């Protein structure tokens, strides 16, 4: 009798240990599952995690039955130690990365557009990149039907070579021959993966990282925090936050997506104070968009060249006044046409707006939190040693 009680006691202790292990495993899987939600990994990963959860659930359930627990109790305890931690952890981390709901939507015709993360395009073929592009367009809420890539734009991509990565593109402090930077996210993938970004922006000069704002920040990469589409107005609005933390920096435009969807001409309008590099600029001229992919052979380290997209002359760069003491939420409007208009006042075929939001510390902390978590996932998914880059961020 005593032996039975003692055995039963050991079984209870053993189950408690097993339950804790189940919670830990489920939580880890929930954390690793978040990239699937964010379109990082394939469907088979979800099936694999689901099978492990089911196995853990069955083991918990059978263990409890052996301890002579009733079915309902066994079912709920098994659920709480397997599926529940998986779901809670997945939702918590995915929420910190889903940073695209700063502006409240009061317009019935306005829809939030998902912002896809950047990816590594190194050593991919033109065909594979175009297939990925078509998949992203199909998932968008705007260009679902009758999309055909602009062959003139995409045919210059060279197969199986490196792409300019986001770190070397934006940061003075990066050595992109280093293993981390060679494997880094490709700069152009931000636009390839986000078809709604008709006019992208980036800093005209490389940024020198500080202890307050690092090279691994979406602020430095000029990633919007929210994109909305207005079906009635035929317009897209991209919201940017935190750019005012970088002072006196000119911006340049990327017209890859606008060109791919058939727009050939653009001009810019804004009521906000803007400094231009030249008297002849985007505010008083109609620019014929002619960006194209090309191979850069200037760095001998990459003998096969690096895929890049061409940039516009310096006169098309501009610097909005983003200081917090100026008018709130600075707006820039880009008018897009498929045929050359008579003048800059002509009605556009489509309107693309960029709004620079006033940025308080709370928003900055949210951006930093998302960047840190993205960095952790990036290292895990690309098998990069944790000490390759330090993602600790000092408080503002």
pLDDT of residue 138: 87
The reply to whether 186 and 274 lie within a common domain is yes
* pLDDT confidence tier of residue 391, bands split at 50, 70 and 90: very low
Mean pLDDT across 234-256: 83
* Least-confidence region, from 32-46, 112-126, 311-325, 344-358: 32-46
The reply to whether 277 and 321 lie within a common domain is yes
- Whether residue 104 lies inside any domain: the answer is no
Tell me the range of 7-11, 164-168, 248-252, 263-267 where mean pLDDT is highest: 263-267
Burial class (CB in 10 A: 0-12, 13-18, 19+), 135: exposed
Q: How far apart are CA 359 and CA 235, in angstroms?
A: 24
Residue written as token pair 């197969």: 159
The reply to whether 154 and 88 lie within a common domain is no
* pLDDT confidence tier of residue 43, bands split at 50, 70 and 90: low
Domain stop point among 62, 94, 126 = 94
pLDDT of residue 158: 94
pLDDT of residue 321: 76
* pLDDT confidence tier of residue 154, bands split at 50, 70 and 90: very high
pLDDT tens for residues 96-119? 555 444 455 555 667 888 888 888
- Whether residue 105 lies inside any domain: the answer is no
Residue 388 pLDDT exceeds 50: no
How many structural domains are present in the chain?
2
pTM: 0.71
pLDDT of residue 245: 63
Tokens standing for residue 340: 């050359």
- Whether residue 396 lies inside any domain: the answer is no
The reply to whether 72 and 150 lie within a common domain is no
Q: How far apart are CA 354 and CA 95, in angstroms?
A: 24
Domain stop point among 94, 119, 151 = 94
Task: Give pairs for 91-98: CB < 8 Å, separation 24+.
Answer: 93/30, 93/31, 93/34, 93/373, 94/34, 94/37, 94/38, 96/366, 96/369, 96/370, 96/373, 97/34, 97/38, 97/370, 97/373, 97/374, 98/38
pLDDT of residue 180: 47
pLDDT of residue 173: 60
* Percent of the residues in the chain that have a pLDDT greater than 70, as a whole number: 72
The reply to whether 84 and 136 lie within a common domain is no
pLDDT tens for residues 58-72? 988 888 888 877 888
The reply to whether 114 and 50 lie within a common domain is no
Q: How far apart are CA 234 and CA 228, in angstroms?
A: 11
Q: How far apart are CA 144 and CA 247, in angstroms?
A: 39
The reply to whether 51 and 139 lie within a common domain is no
* pLDDT confidence tier of residue 299, bands split at 50, 70 and 90: confident
* pLDDT confidence tier of residue 41, bands split at 50, 70 and 90: very low
Tell me the range of 110-124, 184-198, 216-230 where mean pLDDT is highest: 184-198
Tokens standing for residue 394: 């000092």
pLDDT averaged over the chain? 78
The reply to whether 162 and 48 lie within a common domain is no
Burial class (CB in 10 A: 0-12, 13-18, 19+), 186: buried
pLDDT of residue 144: 62
pLDDT of residue 389: 31
Mean pLDDT across 223-241: 88
The reply to whether 366 and 273 lie within a common domain is yes
Domain stop point among 94, 128, 149 = 94
Mean pLDDT across 225-229: 88
The reply to whether 62 and 119 lie within a common domain is no
The reply to whether 122 and 51 lie within a common domain is no
> What HEC string does the chain produce?
CHHHHHHHHHHHHHHHHHHHHHHHHHHHHHHHHHHHHCCCCCHHHHHHHHHHHHHHHHHHHHHHHHCCCCHHHHHHHHHHHCHHHHHHHHHHHHHHHCCCCCCCCCCCCEEEECCCCCCCCCCCCHHHHHHHHHHHHHHCCCCCCCCCCCHHHHCCCCCCCEECEHHHHHECCCCCCCHHHHCCCECCHHHHCCCCCCCEEEECCCECCCCCCCCCCCCCCCCCCEEEEECCCCEEEEEEECHHHCCCCCEEEECHHHHHCCCCEEEEECCCCEEECCCCCCCCCCEECCCCEEEECCCCCCCCCEEEECCCCHHHCEEECCCCCCCCCEEEEEEEECCCCCCCCCCCCEEEEEEEECCCHHHHHHHHHHHHHHHHHHHHHCCCCHHHCCCCCCCC
Mean pLDDT across 204-220: 71
Residue 226 pairs in a beta bridge with: 239
pLDDT of residue 385: 34
- Whether residue 307 lies inside any domain: the answer is yes
Mean pLDDT across 218-228: 84
pLDDT of residue 395: 29
Q: Which domain holds residue 134?
A: 110-388
* pLDDT confidence tier of residue 216, bands split at 50, 70 and 90: low
- Whether residue 103 lies inside any domain: the answer is no
The reply to whether 252 and 307 lie within a common domain is yes
Which of the pair, 152 or 177, is modelled with greater confidence?
152
- Whether residue 211 lies inside any domain: the answer is yes
- 278-306 residues labelled b (16+ CB within 10 A) or e (exposed): eeebbeebbbebebebeeeeeeeebeeeb
Residue written as token pair 């079906």: 231
* pLDDT confidence tier of residue 146, bands split at 50, 70 and 90: confident
- Whether residue 344 lies inside any domain: the answer is yes
Which of the pair, 143 or 205, is modelled with greater confidence?
205
pLDDT of residue 130: 94
- Whether residue 316 lies inside any domain: the answer is yes
* Least-confidence region, from 110-119, 141-150, 271-280, 338-347: 141-150
């Amino acid at each position: 009798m005593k032996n039975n009680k003692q055995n039963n006691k050991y079984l209870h202790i053993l189950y408690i240990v097993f339950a804790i292990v189940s919670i830990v495993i489920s939580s880890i899987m929930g954390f690793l599952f978040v990239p699937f939600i964010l379109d990082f990994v394939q469907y088979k990963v979800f099936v694999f995690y689901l099978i492990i959860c089911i196995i853990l659930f069955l083991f918990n359930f059978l263990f409890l039955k052996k301890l002579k627990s009733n079915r309902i109790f066994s079912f709920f305890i098994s659920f709480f130690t397997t599926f529940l931690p998986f779901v809670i952890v997945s939702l918590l981390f995915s929420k910190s990365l889903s940073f695209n709901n700063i502006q409240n939507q009061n317009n019935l015709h306005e829809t939030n557009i998902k912002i896809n993360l950047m990816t590594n395009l190194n050593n991919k073929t033109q065909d594979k990149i175009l297939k990925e592009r078509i998949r992203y367009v199909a998932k968008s809420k705007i260009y679902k039907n009758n999309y055909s890539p602009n062959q003139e734009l995409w045919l210059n991509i060279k197969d199986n070579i490196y792409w300019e990565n986001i770190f070397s593109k934006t940061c003075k402090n990066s050595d992109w021959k280093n293993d981390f930077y060679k494997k880094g996210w490709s700069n152009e993938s931000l636009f390839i993966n986000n078809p709604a970004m008709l006019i992208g922006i980036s800093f005209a000069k490389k940024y020198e990282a500080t202890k307050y704002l690092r090279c691994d920040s979406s602020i430095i990469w000029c990633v919007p925090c929210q994109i909305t589409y207005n079906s009635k107005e035929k317009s897209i609005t991209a919201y940017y936050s935190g750019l005012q933390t970088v002072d006196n920096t000119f911006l340049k435009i990327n017209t890859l997506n606008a060109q791919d969807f058939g727009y050939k001409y653009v001009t810019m309008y804004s009521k906000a104070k803007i400094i231009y590099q030249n008297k002849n600029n985007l505010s008083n001229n109609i620019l014929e968009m002619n960006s194209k992919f090309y191979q850069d052979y200037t760095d001998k380290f990459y003998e096969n060249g690096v895929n890049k997209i061409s940039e516009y002359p310096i006169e098309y760069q501009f610097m909005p006044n983003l200081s917090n003491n100026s008018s709130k939420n600075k707006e820039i409007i880009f008018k897009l046409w498929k045929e050359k208009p008579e003048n800059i006042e002509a009605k556009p075929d489509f309107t693309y707006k960029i709004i620079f939001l006033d940025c308080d510390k709370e928003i900055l902390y949210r951006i930093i939190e998302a960047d840190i978590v993205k960095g952790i996932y990036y290292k895990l998914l690309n098998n990069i040693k944790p000490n390759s880059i330090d993602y600790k961020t000092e408080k503002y």
